[in-house]
């Protein structure tokens, strides 16, 4: 029998309490010696590029001659921009909804499985995550295409008389993204759920609650941190999934990453590309910040 390593190790707060020698100082050189190379690499290869991206956005033209807010004005006075932002965020919301709808029951089933089968299921869940996004996107072209699996199946069952158009529609894109992003929803969910005390469910059942009532009154509230973490990951990943969006969605469905790519590598208008990519960061991060705030509130509610 394997015992989860989680159960054997004390929580980190206990760990901290046993080492009172460590001060609460602000900066300790001894700690930073080993971290310095990474800090320098991040300064040079992460902070500096992002700072330069912000700087570049304050030019109005692609030759970097006119400084000013021109590119910002150009993007934010175009009503079409708001539609693209809204479509991008909505795509994220739809994908999150679909992954919860399909993924949450799977996480529940995982909890009830014996340990050996849990391992197999976890392996199945994780494997797609390690497959290239391009491979997963390609797989959905084969499934959703005119002569693909889904249409062949529906035709032979007599449910439809001619092939459905699923590629280059938002429905097809959401279906594909549901599979592509599902591991990101399931991993944090399963992580939180398998730490729940099983006695809570037994107690709820012993007190006469049906399994549905136990689900909505006990399991869902307690798994909220995992659910929200999953939503964060799926939302951030699906709104920026360039390859899936362009290959399955086609060129008629326009999302922010496509605009960034066009402006950055086709038109070479870098200031405008910078503005669009910063708009993407701000819109995605503000949704993420709102979700994390909800998360803190819900966990505060549970412990308080």
* Residue appearing with tokens 């391009």: 134
Site for other proteins in 221-240 (CB under 8 A): 232, 236, 239-240
Residue closer to other proteins by CB (options 19, 65) is 19
The yes or no reply on residue 290 touching other proteins (CB under 8 A) is no
CB-based contacts of 100: which residues, under 8 Å, 6+ apart? 185, 227, 230, 231
Total site size for other proteins, rule CB under 8 A: 109
Task: Give the list of residues 6+ apart from residue 229 with CB closer than 8 angstroms, or none.
Answer: 188, 192, 295
177 binds other proteins (CB under 8 A): no
Q: Does 34 bind other proteins (CB under 8 A)?
A: yes
C-beta of 10 vs 79, nearer to other proteins: 10
The SS3 of residue 59 is strand
| DSSP 3-state of 241 | coil
Based on CB atoms, which residue is closest to other proteins, 195 or 301?
Answer: 195
According to the binding rule CB under 8 A, does residue 285 interact with other proteins? yes
Residue closer to other proteins by CB (options 171, 265) is 265
CB nearer to other proteins: pick between 224 and 291? 291
6 binds other proteins (CB under 8 A): yes
Among 134, 171, 200, 220, binds other proteins (CB under 8 A): 134
Q: Does 81 bind other proteins (CB under 8 A)?
A: no
d(CA 97, CA 181): 11
Interaction residues for other proteins, span 101-120 (CB under 8 A): 101-103, 105-106, 108-109, 119
Specify the DSSP element, H or E, that contains 231.
helix 224-239
Per CB under 8 A, 206 contacts other proteins: yes
Stretch that binds other proteins, among 7-15, 74-82, 157-165, 296-304 (CB under 8 A): 7-15
Q: Kindly identify the residues of this chain, within the stretch 239-278, that bind other proteins according to CB under 8 A.
A: 239-240, 242-243, 246-247, 257, 260-261, 264-265, 270, 273-274, 277-278
Instruction: Establish if 42 lies at the interface with other proteins (CB under 8 A).
Output: yes
Dig out the tokens for 9 from the structure: 């190790």
For residue 297, state whether it binds other proteins (rule: CB under 8 A).
no
Return all residues near 257 (Cβ < 8 A) that are at least 6 apart.
88, 239, 240, 241, 242, 245, 246, 280
**129: closest CA among 150, 101, 99, 173?**
99
Q: Answer for the pair 185, 291: CB distance below 8 angstroms, yes or no.
A: no
What number of other Cβ atoms are within 10 A of residue 246's Cβ? 18
């Amino acid at each position: 029998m394997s015992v989860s390593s989680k159960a054997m190790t004390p929580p980190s707060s206990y760990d901290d309490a046993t080492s009172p020698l460590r001060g609460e100082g602000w900066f300790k050189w001894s700690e930073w010696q080993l971290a310095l190379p990474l800090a320098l690499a991040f300064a040079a290869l992460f902070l500096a590029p992002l700072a330069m991206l912000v700087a570049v956005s304050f030019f109005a033209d692609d030759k970097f001659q006119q400084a000013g807010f021109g590119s910002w004005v150009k993007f934010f006075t175009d009503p079409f921009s708001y539609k693209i932002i809204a479509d991008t965020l909505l795509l994220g919301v739809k994908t999150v909804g679909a992954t919860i709808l399909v993924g949450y029951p799977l996480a529940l089933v995982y909890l009830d499985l014996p340990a050996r089968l849990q391992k197999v299921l976890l392996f199945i869940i994780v494997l797609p995550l390690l497959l290239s996004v391009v491979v997963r996107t390609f797989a959905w072209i084969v499934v959703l295409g005119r002569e693909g699996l889904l249409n062949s199946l529906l035709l032979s069952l007599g449910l439809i008389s001619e092939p459905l158009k699923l590629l280059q529609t938002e429905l097809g894109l959401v279906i594909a993204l549901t599979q592509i992003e599902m591991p990101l929803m399931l991993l944090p969910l399963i992580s939180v759920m398998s730490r729940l005390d099983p006695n809570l469910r037994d107690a709820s059942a012993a007190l006469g609650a049906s399994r549905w009532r136990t689900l909505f009154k006990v399991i869902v509230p307690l798994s909220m941190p995992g659910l929200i973490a999953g939503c964060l990951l799926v939302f951030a990943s699906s709104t920026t999934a360039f390859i899936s969006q362009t290959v399955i969605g086609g060129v008629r469905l326009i999302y922010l990453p496509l605009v960034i790519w066009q402006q950055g590598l086709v038109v070479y208008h870098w200031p405008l590309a910078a503005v669009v990519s910063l708009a993407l960061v701000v819109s995605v991060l503000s949704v993420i910040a709102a979700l994390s705030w909800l998360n803190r509130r819900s966990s505060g509610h549970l412990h308080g």
